[in-house]
Amino acid sequence: MGEPVSILAQASSRAVLVLVILFAGLYAYAWRNPLGADAHLIDPGRFRAVEVERLKAGLPDPARVRVRDEFVAGSKPWIVVCGEVNARDDRGNLTGFRRFIAGPSFKAMGGDVEDGVMDALWSAMCVRKR
Amino acid sequence: MTAHPTPRLAAAPASAPTAPEPFSLFAGDWMQATYAGLGLGSHRPWYKTTRCVVAVLVTYVPMAALAWRQGLVEGTLSPTNFFADFAAYACFLVGLPLFLIAEIVIDASTREAAEEFMSCGVVRPEDAPRVLRVHDTLRRWRESRVPDAVCVLLAYVLSLAILVPQFGHDPLPTWHVTGEPGSRHLTAAGYWAFFVALPLLDYVWLRLIVKTLLWIYYLYHVSRVRLALLPTHPDLTGGIGFVSEAQGRFAVLILAYGISNVAAPVGYQIAVQDYELTAMPVWGPIAGFIIGAPLLFTLPLFMFTKQLYRTKRRALSVFRERAMERLRDIEKRWLYTEHRDSLPEELGMPAEQTMLDGLYSRIHHMRVVPFDLRSLGQLVGSTLGSMATLLPLLHSRSELNEAVDVVSKLLEHLGGSH
């Protein structure tokens, strides 16, 4: 029984040694290749927050704007936030919830564009949720 | 802990092996041999704790060190922040140690149950050699390197199945992989995660699944032996209620699996990848786990149903026949004969009647599946308990109300259909 145990102990020692060498190599690699924020990829949570804030900022009385059921949809380069927004119009009246599509270089809201156009945009841009 | 041959086994026929193979799902297998090689083979609590610590030191700690060194640390909840990945915490700091604890619990409970089968006479002496041959088969399987090799292979396949999509054309940002589509590469922590930590975690739970299958194999063969069941046994399952207790101990495995393989990835999808509760990759694993996990450990016990049902039916039939004879006798003496002083043997009749009532009650209430509510509660509790770790997350995302609405509607629908 002593011999198999010593063989196992040897094998285990080798495995530990391999892991230590692997870790040392990766640590050196990490040291030489530090990473910044991965700005090229879309983080859906952050993207949604930024676009909703941008949408609110573009509407009258941004603090009272209500957004609901918003989600990120589409794929690069057409990634947008779709949802519903309730904001005040130029006369200060609430418009009621209406659909919106917002992206870095694009914005469309129900009421501002015709229903048929909004439907077409919605089905083209908001179907593929991320 | 070693199972010793019991007195009943000593009485087994000469065809039985001279040194009966004790039951075990784990003794002498590859992992146990590795523990021994690392000097952690002892069954003392200190060594068991050390195994858990070593597992964390091999998996989570190097990833954290590499992530920190490479700058995958931010102050926000983002997918590129390693320390915001609570799925990694759940998998490697909670799930992995729980799997190692589950091994200890399952090993002890299955050994005890297997010993009970032999020592309490449920397996008749003449059938003992047949069961011992199953022990021998189990020994060959657990000492074979094939299941372990398959588990290691599958562990790497599962690890790669998570990794490969991250090199797709429209990837989400993570701390595992970085760079633009087309030129993406693993981070240092990603290398450790996909080539060391995740395969090790997957191997540990896949190995426990293999052990569970071996246990089911054992139960299948024992259920095929003509068992000496006692329909009046107080455990109300003919004397094999200990199987229920053994099955209940698998709750630790369910809890570990639920936390590391269901709640953690689903939570990550909701909190970091911004998935909704209604998305299939979110609710699918939850629903499958809640239904499948308790069933996996309950269904094998139905293999005993045929024998239990027959025993119960036979016992009820014999009982009715005998009870009618005795009751006729008692009624005749106590109701339909003129009053006279009781004979000494007649004084015991009411007590006999009470005993008959008790026996009937036990036979009548005997279950045809060797499973009790306590063990079922353990399995269901650990299933739901592991999913409950998602509740704070759902609450913070206001999706808890949505989940409650869905469940309420389902219950209303079910209630309305009756």
**How many domains does one find in chain A?**
2
Q: For Cα atoms B214, B218, B219, give the angle at the middle one, nearest 5 degrees.
A: 120
Q: What is the mean pLDDT of chain B?
A: 84
pLDDT band at residue B2 using 50, 70 and 90 as cut-offs: very low
Which pLDDT belongs to residue B78?
A: 74
pLDDT tens by residue, B111-127: 999 999 999 889 999 99
Is A29 found in the same domain as A55?
no
Q: What are the E-state strand segments in B284-344?
A: none
pLDDT at A108 over 90: no
Would the CB atoms of B80 and A31 count as touching at under 8 Å?
Answer: no
Q: Which of residues 182-241 of B touch A (CB under 8 A)?
A: 187-189, 191-192, 196
Provide the whole-model pTM.
Answer: 0.77
- How much is the average pLDDT of B47-76? 91
Rounded-to-integer distance, Cα B268 and Cα B281, Å: 11
CA A6 to chain centre: 53
pLDDT at A2 over 60: no
Is A106 found in the same domain as A59?
yes
Is A22 found in the same domain as A52?
no
At residue B164, what is the residue type?
Answer: V
Handedness of CA B91, B93, B94, B98 (dihedral sign): positive
Helix (H) or strand (E) holding A87: none
Is A51 found in the same domain as A115?
yes
For this complex, say whether ipTM is above 0.85.
no
Rounded-to-integer distance, Cα A86 and Cα B288, Å: 38
pLDDT tens by residue, B244-267: 999 999 999 999 999 999 998 888
Rounded-to-integer distance, Cα B66 and Cα A27, Å: 6
For residues B77 and A45, is the Cβ–Cβ distance under 8 A? yes
Is A106 found in the same domain as A60?
yes
Would the CB atoms of B191 and A26 count as touching at under 8 Å?
Answer: yes
Which pLDDT belongs to residue B345?
A: 65
Is A80 found in the same domain as A17?
no
Is A48 found in the same domain as A13?
no
Residue A9, domain member (yes or no): yes
Is A111 found in the same domain as A53?
yes
| Whole-number Cα distances in Å, B375 to B64, B235, B381 | 38, 13, 10
CA of B236 to nearest chain A CA: how many angstroms apart?
46
Is A30 found in the same domain as A49?
no
Which pLDDT belongs to residue B95?
A: 94
At B128, list the tokens.
């003992």
Is A19 found in the same domain as A54?
no
When comparing pLDDT for B98 and B411, which is higher?
Answer: B98
At residue B22, what is the residue type?
Answer: P
Is A4 found in the same domain as A57?
no
Interfacial residues of A (vs B; Cβ cutoff 8 Å): 4-5, 8-12, 16, 19, 22-23, 26-27, 29-31, 33-38, 40-46, 48, 71-72, 75-76, 129-130
Residue A120, domain member (yes or no): yes
Residue with tokens 């924020």: A37
Is A27 found in the same domain as A52?
no
Interface A:B, Cβ pairs < 8 A: 91
For residues B290 and B388, is the Cβ–Cβ distance under 8 A? no
Residue A18, domain member (yes or no): yes
Residue A130, domain member (yes or no): no
**B100 burial class (0-12, 13-18, 19+ CB within 10 angstroms)?**
buried
Q: Which of residues 241-280 of B touch A (CB under 8 A)?
A: 272-274, 276, 279
For residues B20 and B9, is the Cβ–Cβ distance under 8 A? yes
At B32, list the tokens.
């146990």
Would the CB atoms of B187 and A130 count as touching at under 8 Å?
Answer: no
Rounded-to-integer distance, Cα B231 and Cα B365, Å: 10
**B156 and A CB contact within 8 Å:** no
Residues of chain A contacting B66 with CB distance shorter than 8 Å: 23, 26-27, 30
Q: Which residue segment(s) compose the domain that A4 sits in?
A: 1-34
